[in-house]
């Protein structure tokens, strides 16, 4: 009868338990005061929204979030962009990656407006001039042909860096990052290896004042190749920049800002355990009883789902047993069987445990012999968190 009541309770709870759908919390960033959430710690271990008033002329807002003291590679960037010409006076960013509780973070807010024609002309011209100067400085004419001071792959990489560095204060209107120069550029650079120029060395950047017509022809031929390469490079840059850019207007940083501290809790398990027992009996007997215990998760479920659900579990079975042959099976240390094992949480409220339970068997006769058994067990439990302390449980 006791077993039926326990199963009925667990079944009723599972059928009627509906996880609460938590509302996404919102914090406000005040750009004029450079404070967030009114200087109250921001949410931890959950996604949240950041909103604020949109300054005049600003079309895109980004926030970069990283743990204080960490390098920029660890930061997550979230972006809001004004949709077409719909009027709005506010922005809202969704911070999807939860933050660690009771920790500190740096939040860097970037505000962008649309680059005007003068800015577009300046940034495009500066990048093209830097690329052309780099290309011309890297080539010279040798008797065997046109030579580069660096390998082709290095040259492509350095040209990509020139573009990236030139756009450090700009963002592409469509959110597309520069993917590097195409295969066309790689083939054009590789073309130099198939060009055959004879006779003396000649730096193609130096004006040739000699009367050697063959030297003049080599210089003209080499310069023609360089001009073609520069033109192809300019064309690719022009295609990337044909849409307007967003220009960085202002940068605000909130440093070492705390996240809220979550209260500590310990998972309490109450459920039903089964212990197979055979020993000297002719067949395996299954012993059943209610169980009460605690679980210690291997990780934080918010950040590592599998380890957060997995746990080390320990507790007691709330009854002693008697085998079919009449042998008494009791707990050895505290008068009740103690178990320990591994558990895994399922369906948010149930934990499955497997492990070992310690039993003490007592034989028959005037001086019964006591024997300690370590038996496998399995259990299913309802799990509830016992909050430690009187802090806000949210």
Q: What is the CATH number of the domain that holds 328?
A: 2.40.160
The residues, ordered by sequence, that sit 6+ positions from 15 with a Cβ below 8 Å of its Cβ are none
Supply the pLDDT for residue 206: 47
Supply the pLDDT for residue 63: 95
- Would you say how long the chain is, in residues? 394
Q: Which domain holds residue 371?
A: 265-387
Place of tokens 């009627």: 16
Supply the pLDDT for residue 107: 95
Same domain assignment for residues 131 and 156: yes
Q: Report the C-alpha gap between 250 and 270 in whole angstroms.
A: 56
Q: Closest Cα partner for 378 from 359, 352, 360, 350?
A: 352
Beta-strand ranges (E) seen in 259-390 are 265-277, 285-297, 310-317, 321-322, 328-330, 338-346, 350-362, 370-387
Q: Closest Cα partner for 127 from 234, 239, 242, 244?
A: 234
Domain annotation covers residue 14: no
Domain annotation covers residue 7: no
Mean pLDDT per 10-residue segment, the chain (394 residues): 47 47 87 94 94 93 93 90 90 94 94 91 92 89 75 92 93 86 89 61 46 58 84 91 87 94 86 82 81 88 85 89 74 84 89 88 66 85 74 44
Same domain assignment for residues 109 and 49: yes
Determine contact, residues 98/76, Cβ cutoff 8 Å: no
How many independent structural domains does the chain possess?
3
Same domain assignment for residues 291 and 344: yes
Last residue of a domain, one of 67, 84, 114: 114
Domain annotation covers residue 332: yes
Same domain assignment for residues 143 and 51: no
Same domain assignment for residues 221 and 317: no
Q: Closest Cα partner for 108 from 246, 247, 257, 261?
A: 257
Q: Closest Cα partner for 65 from 254, 248, 260?
A: 254
Domain annotation covers residue 172: yes
Same domain assignment for residues 283 and 228: no
Same domain assignment for residues 110 and 184: no
Determine contact, residues 94/47, Cβ cutoff 8 Å: yes
Supply the pLDDT for residue 277: 81
Domain annotation covers residue 259: no
Same domain assignment for residues 49 and 36: yes
The residues, ordered by sequence, that sit 6+ positions from 230 with a Cβ below 8 Å of its Cβ are 131, 132, 135, 136
Supply the pLDDT for residue 371: 77
Q: Residue 27's beta-bridge partner residues?
A: 50
Domain annotation covers residue 321: yes
Domain annotation covers residue 315: yes
Supply the pLDDT for residue 66: 94
Count of other CB atoms within 10 angstroms of residue 356 = 14
Tell how strand 60-67 and strand 104-114 pair up.
Answer: antiparallel
């Amino acid at each position: 009868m006791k077993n039926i009541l326990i199963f009925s309770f667990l079944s009723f709870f599972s059928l009627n338990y509906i996880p609460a759908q938590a509302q996404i919390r919102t914090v406000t960033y005040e750009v004029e005061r450079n404070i967030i959430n009114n200087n109250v710690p921001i949410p931890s271990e959950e996604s949240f929204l950041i909103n604020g008033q949109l300054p005049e002329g600003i079309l895109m807002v980004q926030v970069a979030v990283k743990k204080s003291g960490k390098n920029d590679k660890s930061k997550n960037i979230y972006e809001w962009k004004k949709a077409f010409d719909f009027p709005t006076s506010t922005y809202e960013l969704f911070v999807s990656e939860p933050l660690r509780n009771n920790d500190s973070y740096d939040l860097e807010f970037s505000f962008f407006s649309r680059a005007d024609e003068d800015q577009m002309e300046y940034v495009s011209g500066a990048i093209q001039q830097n690329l052309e100067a780099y290309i011309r400085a890297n080539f010279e004419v040798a008797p065997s042909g046109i030579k580069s001071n660096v390998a082709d792959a290095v040259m492509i990489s350095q040209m990509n860096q020139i573009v990236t560095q030139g756009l450090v204060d700009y963002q592409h209107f469509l959110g597309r990052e520069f993917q590097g120069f195409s295969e066309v550029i790689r083939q054009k650079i590789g073309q130099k290896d198939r060009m055959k120029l004879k006779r003396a060395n000649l730096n193609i950047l130096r004006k040739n004042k000699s009367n050697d017509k063959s030297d003049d022809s080599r210089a003209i031929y080499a310069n023609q190749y360089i001009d073609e390469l520069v033109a192809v490079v300019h064309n690719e840059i022009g295609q990337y920049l044909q849409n307007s850019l967003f220009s960085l207007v202002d940068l605000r940083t909130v440093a070492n800002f705390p996240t809220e501290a979550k209260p500590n809790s310990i998972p309490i398990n109450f459920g039903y355990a089964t212990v197979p027992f055979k020993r000297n009996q002719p067949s395996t007997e299954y012993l059943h009883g209610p169980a009460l215990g605690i679980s210690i998760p291997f990780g934080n479920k918010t950040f590592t789902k599998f380890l957060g659900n997995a746990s080390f579990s320990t507790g007691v079975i709330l009854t002693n047993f008697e085998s079919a042959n009449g042998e008494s099976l009791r707990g050895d240390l505290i008068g009740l069987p103690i178990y320990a094992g591994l558990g895994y949480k399922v369906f948010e409220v149930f934990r499955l445990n497997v492990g070992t339970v310690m039993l003490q068997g007592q034989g028959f006769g005037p001086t019964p012999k006591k024997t300690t058994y370590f038996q496998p067990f399995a259990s299913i439990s309802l799990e509830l968190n016992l909050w430690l302390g009187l802090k806000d449980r949210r």
